[in-house]
Amino acid sequence: MKLPLFLVVLGALLGPAFAAERRPNFVLILSDDHGWSQVSRTMDPRMPEAQSSYLQTPNIDRIGREGMRFTSGYSPAPLCTPTRRSILNGTSAARSGGEFPSSWVPHDHLTLPKALKQADATYRTAHYGKWGEQMGSTPAQAGYDASDGLTGNNTGGMPATLNQDVAGASHANTPAFYTNQEDPKLTGHVTNRGLEFMRESVRLNRPFYLQVSYYAVHLSIACREETLKRYQAKGAPDREYTEAWAAMLEEMDAGVGRLLGGLKALGIEDNTYVVFTADNGGRGSMPGSDARRLPGNHPLTGEKHMLLEGGIRVPFLVRGPSVPADAVCHVPVASYDLLATFYDLASGTARLPAEVDGVSLKPLFKGAREATALARPDRSLFFHRPTRGESAIRQSDYKLLVKWDGNGGVASRALYQLGTDPREEGRDLAQQQAERADRMEAALLSYLKAVQAEPARGPAAAKGKGKGKKKG
């Protein structure tokens, strides 16, 4: 749809000032390996046990208090790079690659920064922090005006970089945590870069999209000594994580607080959407943890690398113009919806490519509470992890998890009803509700075929995969 002539002329006269006044800003904050229940305020008020009295995340919690909590918020994949590609292109990981290497080249397709520039050419875009491993495109190729470049886990600190004097350094033969860094996990650096980009955008009177991808809380564990001491004084953690990991999370949360404070200081918080989410669920264990404690993702089943809820259900919080305060939404959403959502909120009018799987969540921000308010085909979210031989589909309150036999056939399947209780262990309904399972399996198969998803390997090939992978 073309703008009226007088608006075109007015826009040309006022330039960036005109665009900044009528377009919202967007800040996406992405944490790493961060479980759904690894916060100090539950994502779902119906499940008070889905929070930790030990962890301290007041600034992440603040986004939910001032905005909306999505109880069924998902990462597109249970590991980092597939999720980051999905967010970038608005695609499911089945379409754009469910593992680290992929034949999908992000910059050959519409990307989130390019979509915003398509909506309004005056948008400035930046990405700071962890870009990903084997992403297939650089930030510049993907359309970002500014970035930290090709960054990955080693940038944020891994045994190979923190212990260069240890041959074959790994989490097994190096310290469980580190306190000898001036800026652990580069949390301060990433936050500072984001704040400066926001200040510069305001000086230029330009609308902006900023993605802050923290290296925390991915291993290696690194924190400040003073933060660690506070947690050591609190005693043993309530879950299978460590005092140092909790300290690292709190320091990341402080970075989130600085970003929120920056928006307020600049006078733009009322015209800025802030989204906080994670690239995948929490780890199953970590160096120095006590396996006798509750699992780190309790009460969810599973962990990072798995398509069980513990691997893909993550914190998902949104604050922004017209988003009601302290609201709760139970409609399933995924971070591959963000491209379509931001494009819609930026008043983009041209139809997005059919390969964009995500849909605009704007109706939910405006108060809709049913999945029917979204333009999502089949009301379905899709997940695919080829090397583990797993795929999943979420429809309404139900989720079907399929394990493949390696020859294109189904080895097993499990159906879960997750509406009010997301725990999966011991709650398979596939036999009791076989017809529903059949329908969902058919929808999943049809979608995987349509997007030419990478063939899934069988259970034998999946053995040893996932937990031992060092990159994600």
- Chain segment 247-291, per-residue pLDDT in tens: 999 999 999 999 999 999 999 999 999 999 999 999 999 999 999
What the chain holds in terms of domains, given with CATH numbers, is: 18-376 (3.40.720.10), 379-462 (3.30.1120.10)
The kind and range of the H/E element at 211 are: strand 208-213
| Residue 423 vs residue 458, higher pLDDT | 423
What is the band of 17 on the pLDDT scale with cuts at 50, 70, 90? very low
Closest by Cα among 278, 272, 322 to 300: 278
What is the band of 468 on the pLDDT scale with cuts at 50, 70, 90? very low
pLDDT reading at 20 higher than 60: no
Contacts (Cβ under 8 Å, ≥6 apart) of 12: none
**What is the number of alpha carbons within 13 Å of residue 465 lying toward its C-beta?**
20
What is residue 16's predicted lDDT score, i.e. its pLDDT?
Answer: 45
What is residue 169's predicted lDDT score, i.e. its pLDDT?
Answer: 92
What number is the average pLDDT over the span 302-319? Answer: 98
What number is the average pLDDT over the span 113-140? Answer: 98
Q: 99 with 454: CB under 8 angstroms?
A: yes
What is residue 9's predicted lDDT score, i.e. its pLDDT?
Answer: 43
**Residue owning tokens 């589909």:** 393
What is residue 165's predicted lDDT score, i.e. its pLDDT?
Answer: 86
pLDDT reading at 472 higher than 90: no
pLDDT reading at 88 higher than 60: yes
What is residue 181's predicted lDDT score, i.e. its pLDDT?
Answer: 81
Q: Tell me the pLDDT of the chain averaged across its residues.
A: 93
What is the band of 124 on the pLDDT scale with cuts at 50, 70, 90? very high
Dump pLDDT digits (tens) for 419-447. Answer: 999 999 999 999 999 999 999 999 999 99
pLDDT reading at 418 higher than 80: yes
The DSSP bridge pattern shows strands 146-147 and 208-213 to be unpaired
pTM of the full structure? 0.93
DSSP state of 387: G
pLDDT reading at 166 higher than 70: yes
pLDDT reading at 465 higher than 60: no
Contacts (Cβ under 8 Å, ≥6 apart) of 91: 76, 85, 104, 109, 336, 355, 356, 357, 358
pLDDT reading at 94 higher than 50: yes
Dump pLDDT digits (tens) for 174-209. Answer: 999 999 789 999 999 999 999 999 999 999 999 999
What is residue 260's predicted lDDT score, i.e. its pLDDT?
Answer: 98
What is the band of 459 on the pLDDT scale with cuts at 50, 70, 90? low
Per-residue CA distances from 71 to 95, 171, 316, 375 (Å): 25, 33, 8, 20
pLDDT reading at 2 higher than 80: no
Dump pLDDT digits (tens) for 56-72. Answer: 999 999 999 999 999 99
pLDDT reading at 464 higher than 50: no
Q: 414 with 436: CB under 8 angstroms?
A: no
Residues forming a β-bridge with 412 = 403
- Side by side, the strands of the sheet bearing 398-404 are 380-385, 390-395, 398-404, 410-417
What is residue 22's predicted lDDT score, i.e. its pLDDT?
Answer: 74
